[in-house]
Amino acid sequence: MAYGINTGEAENWEAAPFPAGVRTAMRILVVEDDEKTASYIVKGLTESGYTVDAVGDGRNGLFQATDREYDVLVVDRMLPGLDGLALVQALRAAKVGTPVLFLSALSQVDDRVKGLRAGGDDYLAKPFAFSELLARIEALARRRTDPVVQTKLALGGLEMDLIERRVKRDGKLIELQPREFKLLEYLMRHAGQVVTRTMLLEGVWDYHFDPQTNVIDVHISRLRQKIDKGFDEQLLHTVRGAGYCIRLG
């Protein structure tokens, strides 16, 4: 396994001042099996004002991440015992929401997508510059807030209960098929914004290519019939040449 560091930068980087809005003594867990890479990261982060723990395999990483509270996890993809993807998936299944930055020599688009879909929040390819690693950790630290679980969406008289899977408009129950429900949820989460066909294909159908079918048009038409027909105000709008938008007026 390559050391995975940009050695040309090793003598040039300086410990950055702690970023505004990020509390000091933040604790980071580094899960990296290559000793030289792990030592390099730990040294740099410690000199930048962080408290750092490091483990060299996936199983100990999982134990450490669930047993102690950390602000950011830096996880290698290719780990002995339990690989990085499985480690993060297990954390997310256990409702551990600590931000995860993946490190990996696997740098293709599909590799990065797999990491993010497994529950990672960022992905940095090896070899890397320490300054970029530090900046990404600081960004994750700034973004971290206690998550608010949204269980209801509303726009005017249109209401979605995401727990009971119910949709009502002006108190009238609207029956939706599972895909129609997912489509409406996606639109409602982007209310007031133009949602493109590509966004819908990826966010609702999990397609990362154009299937060259009218699947979106069919479902939009069905959804519009159900949520708009018989009501005074149209909510679901087609934005010609751009996509769709759910909004008032």
Domain count, the chain: 2
Chain-centroid distance of CA 246 in Å reads 24
User: 133 and 204 in one domain?
Assistant: no
For residue 18, what are the contacts with CB-CB under 8 A and spacing of at least 6? 24, 48, 49
Q: Which helix (H) or strand (E) holds 84?
A: helix 84-93
CA angle 82, 104, 144 (to 5 degrees): 85
Contact 244, 220 (CB under 8 A): yes
In a domain, 1, yes or no: no
Residue type for 139, please?
A
User: 163 and 133 in one domain?
Assistant: no
* 18: containing domain: 7-143
DSSP notation for 193-218: S-B-HHHHHHHTS--SS---SSHHHH
**Could you say which of 93, 113, 143 is where a domain stops?**
143
User: 105 and 12 in one domain?
Assistant: yes
User: 156 and 139 in one domain?
Assistant: no
The mean pLDDT of the chain is 86
Whole-model pTM? 0.52
Task: Identify the bridge partners of residue 238 per DSSP, sorted by sequence position.
Answer: 244
Q: For residues 74 and 45, what is the distance between their CA atoms, to the nearest angstrom? A: 11
User: 103 and 77 in one domain?
Assistant: yes
Q: For residues 101 and 123, what is the distance between their CA atoms, to the nearest angstrom? A: 6
In a domain, 114, yes or no: yes
In a domain, 2, yes or no: no
For the segment 8-32, the average pLDDT, to the nearest whole number, is 57
Closest C-alpha to 189, from 204, 175, 170, 179 = 204
The CATH number linked to 176 is 1.10.10.10
Closest C-alpha to 72, from 99, 45, 44, 104 = 99
User: 130 and 179 in one domain?
Assistant: no
**pLDDT tens digits, 79-117:** 999 999 999 999 999 888 899 999 988 888 888 899 999
**Could you say which of 143, 165, 181 is where a domain stops?**
143
In a domain, 121, yes or no: yes
The CATH number linked to 39 is 3.40.50.2300
Instruction: Report strand pairing: 166-169 vs 172-174.
Output: antiparallel
Closest C-alpha to 83, from 106, 58, 61, 102 = 58
**Could you say which of 143, 166, 194 is where a domain stops?**
143
User: 185 and 111 in one domain?
Assistant: no
**pLDDT tens digits, 136-165:** 999 998 876 545 567 899 998 999 999 999
Name the 3-class secondary structure at 104.
Answer: strand
User: 122 and 61 in one domain?
Assistant: yes
